[in-house]
């Protein structure tokens, strides 16, 4: 740079020429940009329900069952729908192409988050990487997670995953009822061990899972509730004991829980790391590479909340598919047994030899998907899509449920048909996992761990157990399936028994009992 300026200063003629060129380019750019900005201001917003003066679409906006209302709007207004709420613009994307265009091809301008004052401030979630705005802390935290559970390193956690899944298989032998809470606990235990290792005292381990479960029980419904404090933040300062201040009591408890899940395990892990007792773990990897940083602490602290509910929902969906579709269950069983010969437990490394099971896993993510409305992104600059203007600060909701059900893509979306991923047809289909795990710069930071853990739990269950209804109950009908109305939803009324497939399974379970 210095050299170039020196050279230009040598020649006044060159300097004048360059100055003129820069001025000309500057003038053209300025007028070009003005024109683009004028043109984009002239562009219409996407279509949507008619708005009322001042309150926009507040009266149309659902208080629950967002997915169902978003699908009704898709029928009426098409691939991209805009909704105006007081102080907030929102678009709903109902097309795979538009989602790619906006969220994956323009990652840096659509990676913001917008979280209400209640969750962010009153409940004390400012530290969470899932809710953070893009910037130095967020990118540092993502870099750290990529190092520890990205595609290169995730395999190093296989022994922990396999050991815990064997334990889960033993529990299933005596289990009947709704499997979701059991999956939540088991996956939570895996996330804790992968994150902090096996040496964290077991007393803390139990505390950690119950703090995390309690905070999830507070924050999940809070996302979908209306909070006056979001509109009038000064309410934050009223005392918690005041009548009507329930939101403050929720906030105080959540803030306390957040402190526990952030500091307590990290401090203990740092002590164990110093004394050389920590053992293999994500926290150990990060302490070795980055030292005891606040970014590492927060990146690790969010993993239970971000990873257990979500992965448990995916595994519950897999179990539900095994129950609803006995033919599919039998084929997964036969495929796994053809690899293990029924004489050993399945291993994570068996996966490349399980193409049919792989197709079932994909179809489980697609059919009646367990996460129909994606986590919203926010634009940080004006964008133009399909001739519509999307202003900076707009919340973007990808309607994953519709996209995964779109007959233009899937032909017969209502059918659970894993074979669609095994024929030439597959070449023109998106991978449902790439939709469900989210988009662009915010794509799920734990997707490799989730995919590895969820697939292994699902296929190991199918290999060892026939998933059956409770005694005397008939098999539910797939077309009547209903789902809970939460972000990572589960089938309503799902109940199952796990019947060992044959005597080889009983032998395996007996041997496993001696090992774990």
Is 269 or 508 the residue whose CB approaches ligand HEM more closely? Answer: 269
Provide, rounded to whole angstroms, the least separation between the CB of residue 139 and ligand HEM: 9
For residues 57 and 379, which CB has a smaller minimum distance to ligand HEM in the complex? 379
Which residues lie below 8 Å from residue 205, measured CB to CB, with a gap of 6+? Answer: 189, 192
* Between 74 and 311, CB nearer to ligand HEM: 311
Q: Per CB under 6 A, which of residues 429..488 are in contact with ligand HEM?
A: 436-439, 442-446, 449-450, 454
Minimum CB separation of residue 185 from ligand HEM in Å reads 15
Q: For ligand HEM, what does the binding mask look like between residues 295 and 334, x meaning CB under 6 A? A: -------xx--xx--xx--x--------------------
CB-based burial label for 105 (10 Å; 0-12, 13-18, 19+): exposed
In 144-186, DSSP assigns E strands to 176-177
| CA-based nearest residue to 79, from 380, 398, 393 | 398
Q: Which is nearer to ligand HEM, 82 or 141 (CB)?
A: 141
Residue span binding ligand HEM (CB under 6 A) among the ranges 39-47, 268-276, 373-381, 462-470: 373-381
Nearest residue (CB) to ligand HEM, 89 versus 371: 371
Binder of ligand HEM out of 204, 225, 375, 429 (CB under 6 A):
375
Tokens of 221: 């419904």
Number of residues near ligand HEM (by CB under 6 A): 27
User: Checking DSSP bridges between strand 88-93 and strand 395-398, what pairing results, if any?
Assistant: parallel
Q: How far is CA 248 from CA 144, 211, 218, 261, 384, in A?
A: 34, 18, 12, 20, 41
Q: Minimum distance between the CB of residue 154 and ligand HEM, rounded to whole angstroms?
A: 10
CA count, 13 A, side-chain hemisphere, 42: 6
Minimum separation from the CB atom of position 4 to ligand HEM (A): 39
List beta partners, residue 500. Answer: 465
Q: Between 172 and 211, how does the x/- string for binding to ligand HEM read (CB under 6 A)?
A: -------------------x--------------------
What are the CB-based long-range contacts (under 8 Å, 24+) for 500-503? 500/173, 500/464, 500/465, 500/466, 501/333, 501/463, 501/464, 501/465, 501/466, 502/342
Q: What is the dihedral of CA 360, 365, 366, 371, to 10 degrees?
A: 160
What CA–CA distance (Å, rounded) separates 235 from 237?
A: 5
CA distances from 305 to 215, 261, 311, 362 (A): 8, 10, 11, 23
Binding residue per annotation — 444?
Answer: yes
| Minimum distance of ligand HEM from residue 61's CB (angstroms) | 21
CB of 168 to ligand HEM, least distance (A): 16
- Min dist CB 437 to ligand HEM, Å, is 5
**Site residues for ligand HEM, window 87-146 (CB under 6 A)?**
129-130, 142
91 bridge partner residues: 82, 396
Residue 98, both tokens: 């538009």
Q: Which of residues 21-50 bind ligand HEM (CB under 6 A)?
A: none
Least distance from C-beta 401 to ligand HEM, angstroms?
A: 12
Whether 343 contacts 231, CB under 8 Å: no
User: Which residue's beta carbon is nearest to the bound ligand HEM?
Assistant: 446
DSSP letter for 459, please.
H
Binding site for ligand HEM (CB under 6 A): 129-130, 142, 191, 302-303, 306-307, 310-311, 314, 371, 374-375, 377, 436-439, 442-446, 449-450, 454
Point out the annotated binding site for heme: 444
Binding residues: 444
């Amino acid at each position: 740079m210095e050299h170039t300026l020196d050279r230009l200063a040598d020649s006044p003629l060159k300097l004048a020429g360059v100055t003129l060129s820069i001025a000309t380019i500057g003038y053209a750019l300025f007028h070009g940009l003005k024109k683009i900005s004028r043109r984009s201001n002239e562009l219409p917003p996407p279509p949507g329900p008619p708005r009322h003066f001042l309150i926009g679409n507040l009266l149309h906006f659902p208080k629950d069952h967002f997915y169902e209302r978003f699908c009704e709007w898709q029928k009426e207004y098409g691939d991209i729908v805009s909704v105006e709420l007081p102080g907030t613009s929102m678009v709903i994307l109902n097309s795979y192409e538009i989602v790619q265009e906006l969220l994956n091809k323009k990652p840096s301008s659509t990676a913001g988050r917008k979280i209400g004052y209640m969750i962010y401030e009153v409940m004390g979630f400012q530290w969470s990487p899932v809710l953070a705005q893009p910037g130095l802390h967020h990118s540092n935290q993502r870099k750290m997670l990529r190092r520890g559970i990205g595609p290169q390193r995730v395999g190093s956690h296989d022994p922990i995953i396999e050991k815990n899944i064997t334990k889960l298989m033993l529990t299933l032998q005596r289990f009947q009822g709704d499997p979701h809470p059991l999956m939540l606990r088991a996956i939570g235990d895996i996330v804790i061990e992968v994150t902090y290792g096996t040496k964290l005292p077991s007393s803390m381990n139990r505390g950690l899972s119950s703090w995390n479960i309690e905070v999830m029980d507070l924050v999940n419904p809070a996302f979908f509730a209306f909070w006056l404090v979001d509109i009038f933040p000064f309410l934050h300062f009223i005392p918690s004991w005041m009548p009507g201040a329930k939101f403050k009591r929720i906030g105080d408890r959540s803030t306390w829980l957040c402190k526990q899940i952030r500091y307590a395990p990290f401090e203990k892990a740092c002590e164990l790391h110093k004394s050389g007792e920590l053992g293999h773990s994500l926290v150990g990897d990060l302490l070795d590479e980055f030292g005891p940083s606040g970014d590492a602490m927060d990146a690790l602290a969010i993993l239970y909340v971000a990873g257990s509910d979500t992965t448990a929902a995916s595994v519950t969906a897999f179990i539900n598919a095994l129950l609803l579709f006995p033919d599919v269950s039998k084929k997964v069983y036969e495929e796994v047994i053809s690899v293990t010969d029924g004489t050993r437990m399945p291993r994570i490394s068996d996966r490349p030899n399980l193409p049919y099971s792989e197709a079932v896993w994909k179809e489980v993510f697609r059919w009646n998907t367990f996460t129909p409305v994606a986590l919203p992104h926010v634009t940080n600059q004006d964008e133009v899509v399909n001739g519509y203007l999307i202003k900076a600060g707009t919340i973007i909701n990808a309607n994953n449920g519709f996209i995964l059900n779109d007959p233009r893509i899937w032909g017969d979306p209502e059918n659970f048909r894993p074979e669609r991923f095994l024929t030439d047809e597959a070449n023109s289909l998106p991978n449902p996992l790439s939709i469900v795990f989210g988009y662009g710069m915010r794509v799920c930071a734990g997707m490799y761990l989730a995919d590895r853990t969820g697939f292994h739990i699902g296929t190991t269950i199918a290999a060892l157990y026939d998933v059956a209804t409770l005694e005397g109950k008939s098999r539910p009908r797939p077309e009547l399936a209903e789902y809970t109305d939460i972000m990572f939803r589960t089938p309503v009324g799902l109940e199952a028994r796990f019947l060992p497939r044959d005597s080889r399974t009983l032998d395996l379970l007996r041997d496993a009992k001696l090992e774990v």
